[in-house]
């Protein structure tokens, strides 16, 4: 299934994309694509529905983040060998974890605001995992069963805040609008191999990232297993899993976003995003 949330910010309704690409309303089935609705039993009920029986949504409503009420937004740093190389960083021996503020999450096509006093706002196309049943101490062999689905994430980052202002990476990762998710949440049964998906990102039409999830150092199943050793993963938690090379920081000289740019990104089978980056205006 391709699950989606649509409507005004903070008032999104649950929906489903049918086989013809049409948007169907799920409001009569679940209150939101969030929390308990993402558990395996709930997803099985949704999958048993005939999409033709669901109301069609007219017009072209705003598409919101594909998961609502996210309480834990976990990110993995330097998880692509080629990206680690472009930043001059050693290959991690274990996953590097940090948090993005859940309230930075926006829709896939919403504007992204360059933070006040930003000097080094950067882009990162990433594969995100959305937790379904979740739990603690999940075995790697059971990890895929704990996942509700996958989606595209732009892990927008302010590099000066991240690495030059002291403390941990969270300072440069959770600014308002720094977490576009979607357009839809794709359940695992629709993806033949999550570790072999093409990933790309363009700035003003120029392809700057062109990679694949096959070069991830730690795969999706291992990450769910690993993270669950340190914290409980609940339904609707999001894990964004790292970026391939081609970020602004890796250019010589580095290139950063100032406002006025259009960033387009996508992952094979998971859809595309398009954001206008705008300078902070107070």
Residue 92 pLDDT more than 90? no
pLDDT of 45-66, one tens digit each? 999 999 999 999 999 999 999 9
**Which pair of tokens denotes residue 17?**
């994309």
Quote the pTM value: 0.96
**Which pair of tokens denotes residue 111?**
């504007």
Q: Which residues pair with 251 in a beta bridge?
A: none
**Which pair of tokens denotes residue 109?**
């096509």
| pLDDT given for residue 195 in this prediction | 97
Residue 78 pLDDT more than 90? no
| pLDDT given for residue 54 in this prediction | 97
80-85 LR contacts (CB < 8 Å, sep 24+): 80/211, 80/215, 80/216, 80/217, 80/242, 80/243, 80/244, 80/245, 81/215, 81/217, 82/211, 82/215, 82/244, 82/245, 83/211, 83/242, 83/243, 83/244, 83/245, 83/247, 83/250, 84/217, 85/245
Q: Average pLDDT, stretch 23-34?
A: 97
**Coil, strand or helix: which one is 211?**
strand
Q: Average pLDDT, stretch 272-279?
A: 98
pLDDT of 105-153, one tens digit each? 999 999 999 999 999 999 999 999 999 999 999 999 999 999 999 999 9
Residue 187 pLDDT more than 90? yes
- Distance, in Å, from the CA atom of 12 to the CA atom of 25, rounded to the nearest integer, reads 11
Query: Where residue 166 falls among pLDDT bands split at 50, 70, 90?
Result: confident
Q: Average pLDDT, stretch 61-85?
A: 92
**Coil, strand or helix: which one is 159?**
helix
């Amino acid at each position: 299934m391709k699950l989606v949330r649509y409507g005004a910010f903070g008032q999104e309704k649950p929906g489903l994309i049918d086989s013809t690409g049409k948007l169907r309303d799920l409001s009569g089935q679940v209150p939101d694509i969030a929390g308990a609705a993402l558990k395996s039993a709930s997803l099985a009920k949704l999958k048993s529905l005939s999409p033709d029986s669901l109301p069609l949504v007219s017009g072209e409503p705003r598409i919101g983040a594909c998961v609502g009420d996210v309480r834990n937004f976990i990110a993995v740093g330097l998880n692509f060998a080629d990206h680690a190389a472009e930043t001059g960083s050693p290959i991690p021996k274990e996953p590097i974890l940090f948090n993005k503020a859940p309230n930075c999450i926006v829709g896939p096509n919403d504007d992204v605001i360059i933070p006040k006093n930003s000097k080094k706002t950067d882009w990162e196309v990433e594969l995100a995992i959305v937790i379904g049943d979740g739990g603690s101490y999940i075995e790697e062999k059971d990890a895929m069963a704990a996942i509700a689905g996958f989606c595209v994430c732009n892990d927008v980052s302010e590099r000066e805040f991240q690495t030059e202002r002291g403390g941990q990476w969270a300072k440069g990762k959770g600014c308002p609008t720094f977490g576009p998710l979607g357009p839809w949440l794709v359940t695992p049964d629709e993806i033949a191999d999550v570790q072999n998906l093409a990933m790309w990102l363009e700035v003003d039409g120029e392809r700057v990232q062109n990679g694949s999830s096959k070069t991830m150092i730690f795969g999706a199943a291992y990450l769910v297993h690993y993270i669950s050793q340190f914290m409980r993963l609940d339904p609707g938690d999001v894990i964004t899993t790292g970026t391939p090379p081609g970020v602004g920081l890796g250019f010589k000289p580095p290139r950063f976003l100032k406002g006025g740019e259009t960033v387009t990104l996508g992952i094979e089978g998971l859809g595309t995003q398009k954001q206008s980056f705008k300078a902070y205006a107070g």
